[in-house]
């Protein structure tokens, strides 16, 4: 990889290699093997949006690899206002080894990647969240699920996380069904790309039909950052798409529950399901750390033998 802007830029082989690398890094860390393959290397973290998991896992991840991170809020650098995105990319390329960008417009990440001479990682845009999707499928893979034999049901908004989950799932040969109200479907370009990549993707308005026989049920907030003015409208539109015990009952008895967090408890998911025995949301959260370390190490050409 040169950049990680979209999950669709990856190949199946690259995804599986990241899983293997993340497994190795996770095991080494838990065993207390503290190498420093990125000693002297640095990341710039550009964050236009607030964050818990993404900021902590990238900052801690690069430190665990022996490097350091420099946090830059959107207000500090005025991305695209005080200074143009290409100028920011060109300047950072002279100082740091990679850029991690959590932004509103996907075009911002694209522009950073076009003008930077160092790797750029999409840590969330309004169109995709590839780091989340890599960690999610890594979590299922670590639990022994064969993606090619897995039916994943996405319940709710066909948003940026949904886009990346569908694209990585397609690369791995998974069968996926997205249940959402009319007007909130995943972008047609993403669906078309997923199908070209070999994925089996279906869209329905029927949440129960999507959940029936599913191995995995995945949901996300109904109102994402930047959509606050649509909250009332969205709550009404998604009222029949709550992931609760009734809906979970249509899935396989062994079905797992996923949520990328933060959760709006009592809206898209109930406490009983989020905190229940089938929930693997904290595994997903933990694996963001190790999956992103694998991405960083791959992009910067570090060796796991030094980790």
How many domains does one find in the chain?
Answer: 2
Q: What is the pLDDT of residue 80?
A: 87
Query: Is the model's pLDDT at 306 over the cut of 90?
Result: no
Identify the CATH number of the domain in which residue 165 sits.
3.40.50.1370
State the pLDDT at residue 114. Answer: 98
Is it the case that residue 1 has pLDDT exceeding 90?
no
**Are 272 and 160 found together in one domain?**
yes
Same-domain pairing of 62 and 104 = yes
Could you tell me if 297 and 271 lie in one domain?
A: no
Interior/surface letters 109-123, b for 16+ CB within 10 angstroms, e for the rest: bbbbbebbebbbbbb
Average the pLDDT over 272-288 and give the result: 98
Q: For residues 12 and 30, state if they share a domain.
A: yes
pLDDT of 305 reads 72
149 with 275, same domain: the answer is yes
Taking residues 213-234, what's their average pLDDT? 91
225, pLDDT greater than 80: no
- Our answer to whether residue 129 is catalytic in this structure is yes
Residue 290's Cβ-count burial label (10 Å; 0-12, 13-18, 19+) is: buried
Question: 290 catalytic, yes or no?
Answer: no
What six digits make up the tokens of 66?
């022996």
Q: Report whether 270 contacts 248 (CB < 8 A).
A: no
- Mean predicted confidence (pLDDT) in 120-146: 98
Please tell me the distance from the alpha carbon of residue 178 to that of residue 234, in angstroms, as a whole number.
17
Q: Is 139 domain-assigned?
A: no
Q: Are residues 110 and 158 in the same domain?
A: no
Catalytic: 288? yes
Answer yes or no: is pLDDT of 280 > 70.
Answer: yes
Work out the number of other CB atoms within 10 angstroms of the CB of residue 247: 25
Is 193 annotated in the active site?
no
- Note whether residue 137 is domain-resident: no
Question: Is-catalytic flag, 220?
Answer: yes
In terms of domains, do 56 and 26 share one? yes
Residues 65 and 181 in one domain: no
Residue 257 has pLDDT above 90, yes or no: yes
Cβ-Cβ contacts under 8 Å for 251 (sequence gap 6 or more) = 153, 211, 212, 213, 214, 215, 217
* Pair 149, 274 in one domain: yes
The residue range of the domain holding 205 is 144-279
Q: Is residue 221 part of a domain?
A: yes
Q: What is the mean pLDDT of the chain?
A: 96
Read off the pLDDT of each residue in 217-242 and give the average, rounded to a whole number.
Answer: 92
pLDDT at 45: 98
Of 242, 288, 290, 292, the active-site residue reads 288
pLDDT at 302: 79
User: Which of these is catalytic: 97, 220, 234, 298?
Assistant: 220
pLDDT at 161: 98
163 given a catalytic annotation: no
Quick one: 249 and 196 in the same domain? yes
Secondary structure, 3-state, the chain: CCCECCHHHCCHHHHHHHHHHHHHHHHHHHCCCCCCCCCCCEEEEEECCCCCHHHHHHHHHHHHCCCEEEEEEHHHHCECCCECHHHHHHHHHHHCCEEEEECCCHHHHHHHHHHCCCCEEECCCCCCCHHHHHHHHHHHHHCCCCHHHCEEEEECCCCHHHHHHHHHHHHCCCEEEEECCCCCCCCHHHHHHHHHCCCEEEEECCHHHHHCCCCEEEECCCCCCCCHHHHHHHHHHCCCCCECHHHHCCCCCCCEEEECCCCCECCCECHHHHCCCCECHHHHHHHHHHHHHHHHHHHHCCCHHHC
* This prediction's pTM: 0.96
Q: Does 100 reside within a domain?
A: yes
Q: Which of 132, 242, 284, 292 is catalytic?
A: 132
Of 41, 53, 55, 102, the active-site residue reads 102
Which one is catalytic: 136, 151, 260, 292? 260
Give me the catalytic one of 129, 151, 234, 290. 129
Q: What is the pLDDT of residues 147-206, one digit of tens each?
A: 999 999 999 999 999 999 999 999 999 999 999 999 999 999 999 999 999 999 999 999
Q: Does residue 40 lie within any of the structural domains?
A: yes
- Residue 307 above 70 pLDDT? no
């Amino acid at each position: 990889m040169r950049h990680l802007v979209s999950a669709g830029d990856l190949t199946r082989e690259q995804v599986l290699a990241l899983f293997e690398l993340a497994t190795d890094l996770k095991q080494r860390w838990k065993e207390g093997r503290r190498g420093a393959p990125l000693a002297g290397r640095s990341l710039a973290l550009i964050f236009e949006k607030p964050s818990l998991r993404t900021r902590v896992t990238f900052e801690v991840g690069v430190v665990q690899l022996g490097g350091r991170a420099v946090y830059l809020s959107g207000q500090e650098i005025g991305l695209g206002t005080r200074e143009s995105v290409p100028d920011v990319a060109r300047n950072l390329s002279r100082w740091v080894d990679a850029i991690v960008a959590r932004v509103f417009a996907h075009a911002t990440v694209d522009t950073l990647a076009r003008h930077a001479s160092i790797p750029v990682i999409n840590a969330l845009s309004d169109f995709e969240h590839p780091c989340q999707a890599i960690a999610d499928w890594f979590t299922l893979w670590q639990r022994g699920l064969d993606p090619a034999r897995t039916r994943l049901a996405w319940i709710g908004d066909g948003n940026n996380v949904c886009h990346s989950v569908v694209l990585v799932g397609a690369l791995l040969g998974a069968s996926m069904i997205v249940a959402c109200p009319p007007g909130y479907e995943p972008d047609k370009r993403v669906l078309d790309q997923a199908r070209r990549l070999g994925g089996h993707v279906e869209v329905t308005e029927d949440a129960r039909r999507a959940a029936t026989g599913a191995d995995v049920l995945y949901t996300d907030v109904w109102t994402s950052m930047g959509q606050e003015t649509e909250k009332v409208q969205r709550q009404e539109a998604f009222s029949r798409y709550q992931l609760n015990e009734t809906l979970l009952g249509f899935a396989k008895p062994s079905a797992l529950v996923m949520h990328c967090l933060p959760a709006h408890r009592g809206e898209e998911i109930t406490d009983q399901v989020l905190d229940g025995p089938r929930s693997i949301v904290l595994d997903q959260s933990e694996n963001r750390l190790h999956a992103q370390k694998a991405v960083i190490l791959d992009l910067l050409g570090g060796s796991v033998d030094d980790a």
